[in-house]
């Protein structure tokens, strides 16, 4: 069979797989899978405040045990050496809380040994220690690094609460309350894990905490006023489904903070929040998993765009239904409209989802006035979100806060500040070039191009924040630069091409480890993934006038459906949180195939 026929058949198979999964309201709903954190949080919360959901607890327990490695640990990605200490502590603690599995069960014994061998509870990430402290399993720090007075600092002060990213604020508002009160809750279901605290000083501090001796360094008047302000911030941003900002982690923290403020566990607001969390559960391989946030808007916008790139006309029923769904999800922000990641997200629009939705609606807006005004409003919002340095960030504008990132908290620079990134800047520039027909002669584009060229790595790659990792960033940057008139022969483009050619796997695909974003350098995988292969291919297709041997081998690899289809290629929190988008195995290969056919098979 000729390559043309094989490509056509493969493309049609992928399209058919996608078409049948569209729901009646126009959306595509794929699982957005992460590690054990959200499942563990949910088990503990339900055992603390709601014993009516034992069936759900059992389902979540089954999923935790299903994902446990043979050595007793839990991993965030397959090639993570030995296992992840924080993920293992969270899963182990939740399983003990559940009372569904005996502490002497071999699987729990193995997990305990792993934790002990790797330094015990003290070796955990700060967020894990925080969760343990809430459940009276680890002492609160003597001095908490986030003082409550940050809530009162005016916006022109760099370290104020106002200057943190919107994503972080919906989490940190609860953290402020809980830390100021050094809140801990204990029930008959709380397990004993003190033997995993290997430092006598830490055990003594925990004992004093349990005896009611807590050290506080905050003025009570400021403390109380700050808690009222934090509570108001949270309650004003509750979603219709009861969640805080649509995120499971923020909602769990919110529930603890409301308990700390004196809310009853059966209060309507907490009951509603629990119900909202339940809606985030999905089935994966017959197991129940709780997503941190559902990715419906993101997945639907990308699939709508990819189908159109694959030849679907705007009159097609799938395109029409998908467009109507995306239009309904637009948020109104200062008269302009942007989009967020999730269907239940009404407060936190972001740059990446907005450019994806605008891209998906472009053809519809050209022909239909119903879409046109909303599209232009979204475009205005997107253009206005450009940072002073020329790039685009995720949620906020000009939040490159050099002071906040020096707070003594792990990953603070990955969360509390919102800097320009190559993946977001590249995707926005590519949209503005391809869809809006802006070129490097436009001041905004010129500034963005300068930022991208300045931030290229020495090896020719770019770091991608929200995908794994350097392959993702390079794809976004190169396709963005080319779309606005940068030449294929530009040294930066040729350097990127050389790098991509050098990292192709023997099987013809590409693969990159999640540990790249920990070490901040490219770390290869010994296997390939569909999404990373497609990103690399799409980049090379954009650069090369003719399909070279590297491209041909990559296309063959995609068509053979080889590689690892479950490896997480979505970024979250470096070293601590990654996402497996189940839609990606369809979206990105379809896009690469569509662009290959358009360019080389006219």
Supply the residues annotated as catalytic: 352
Q: Are 251 and 277 within 8 A, CB to CB?
A: yes
Q: Are 425 and 391 within 8 A, CB to CB?
A: yes
Q: Is the peptide bond before 179 cis (omega within 30 degrees of 0)?
A: no
Q: Collect all residues with Cβ–Cβ distance below 8 Å to 375 and sequence separation of at least 6.
A: 358, 361, 362, 365
Q: Collect all residues with Cβ–Cβ distance below 8 Å to 128 and sequence separation of at least 6.
A: 86, 89, 90
- Distance between CA atoms of 381 and 359, rounded to whole angstroms? 14
Q: Are 124 and 575 within 8 A, CB to CB?
A: no
Determine the number of helices (DSSP H) and then strands (DSSP E) in the chain.
Answer: 24, 7
Q: Are 146 and 228 within 8 A, CB to CB?
A: no
Q: Are 279 and 56 within 8 A, CB to CB?
A: no
Supply the DSSP symbol for 141. Answer: P
- Helix H, strand E, coil C: the string for 247-316 is EHHHHHHHHHHHHHCCCCCCCHHHHHHHHHHHCCEEEECCEEEECCCCCHHHHHHHHHHHHHHCCCCCCC
Backbone angles phi, psi at 219, to 5 degrees: -70, 130
Long-range Cβ contact pairs of 161-164 (< 8 A, separation 24 or more) = 163/399, 163/401, 163/404, 164/399, 164/401, 164/404, 164/416, 164/417
SS3 of residue 579 by DSSP: strand
Supply the DSSP symbol for 512. Answer: B
């Amino acid at each position: 069979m000729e390559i043309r026929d094989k490509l056509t058949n493969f493309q049609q198979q992928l399209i058919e797989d996608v078409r049948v999964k569209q729901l009646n309201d126009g959306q595509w709903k794929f699982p957005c899978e992460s590690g054990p954190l959200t499942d563990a949080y949910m088990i503990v919360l339900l055992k603390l405040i709601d014993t009516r959901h034992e069936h759900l607890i059992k389902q979540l327990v089954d999923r935790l045990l299903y994902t446990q490695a043979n050595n007793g640990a839990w991993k965030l990605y397959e090639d993570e050496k030995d296992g992840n200490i924080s993920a293992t502590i969270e899963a182990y603690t939740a399983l003990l809380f559940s009372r569904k599995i005996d502490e002497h069960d071999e699987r729990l014994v193995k997990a305990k040994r792993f934790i002990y061998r790797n330094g015990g509870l003290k070796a955990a990430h700060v967020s894990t220690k925080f969760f343990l402290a809430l459940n009276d399993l680890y002492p609160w720090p003597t001095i908490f690094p986030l003082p409550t007075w940050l809530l009162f600092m005016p916006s022109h002060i760099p370290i104020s609460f106002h200057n943190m990213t919107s994503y972080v604020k919906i989490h940190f508002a609860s953290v402020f309350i809980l830390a100021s009160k050094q809140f801990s809750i204990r029930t008959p279901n709380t397990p004993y894990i003190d033997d995993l605290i290997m430092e006598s000083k830490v055990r003594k501090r925990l004992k004093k905490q349990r005896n009611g001796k807590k050290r506080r360094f905050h003025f009570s008047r400021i403390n109380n006023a700050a808690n009222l302000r934090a509570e108001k911030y949270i309650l004003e941003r509750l979603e219709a489904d009861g969640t805080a900002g649509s995120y499971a982690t923020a909602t769990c923290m919110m529930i603890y903070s409301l308990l700390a403020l004196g809310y009853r566990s059966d209060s309507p607001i907490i009951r509603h929040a629990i119900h909202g969390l339940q809606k985030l559960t999905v089935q994966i391989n017959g197991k129940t998993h709780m997503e941190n946030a559902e990715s419906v808007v993101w997945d639907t916008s990308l699939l709508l765009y990819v189908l159109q790139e694959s030849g679907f006309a705007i009159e097609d029923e799938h395109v029409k239904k998908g467009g109507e769904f995306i239009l309904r999800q637009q948020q109104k922000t200062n008269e302009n409209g942007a989009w967020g990641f999730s269907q239940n997200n009404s407060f936190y629009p972001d740059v990446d989802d907005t450019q994806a939705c605008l891209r998906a609606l472009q053809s519809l807006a050209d022909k239909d006035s119903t879409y046109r005004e909303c599209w232009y409003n979204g475009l205005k919002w997107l253009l206005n979100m450009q940072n002073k340095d020329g790039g685009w960030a995720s949620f906020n504008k000009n939040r490159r806060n050099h002071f906040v990132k020096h707070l003594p908290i792990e990953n603070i620079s990955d969360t509390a500040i919102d800097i320009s990134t190559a993946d977001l800047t590249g995707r926005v520039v590519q949209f503005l070039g391809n869809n809006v027909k802006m070129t490097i002669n436009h001041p905004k584009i010129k500034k963005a191009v300068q930022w991208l060229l300045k931030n290229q790595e020495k090896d020719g790659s770019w770091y991608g924040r929200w995908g794994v990792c350097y392959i993702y960033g390079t794809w976004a940057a190169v396709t963005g630069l080319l779309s606005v008139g940068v030449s294929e022969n530009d040294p930066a483009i040729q350097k990127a091409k050389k790098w991509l050619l050098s990292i192709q796997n023997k099987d013809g695909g590409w693969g990159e480890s999640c540990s790249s974003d920990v070490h901040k350098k490219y770390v290869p995988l010994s296997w390939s993934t569909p999404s990373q292969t497609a990103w690399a291919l799409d980049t090379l297709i954009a650069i090369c006038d003719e399909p070279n041997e590297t491209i041909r081998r990559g296309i063959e690899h995609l068509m053979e459906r080889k590689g690892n289809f479950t490896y997480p290629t979505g970024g979250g929190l470096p070293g601590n949180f990654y996402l497996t988008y189940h839609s990606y195995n369809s979206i990105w290969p379809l896009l690469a195939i569509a662009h290959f056919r358009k360019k080389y098979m006219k």
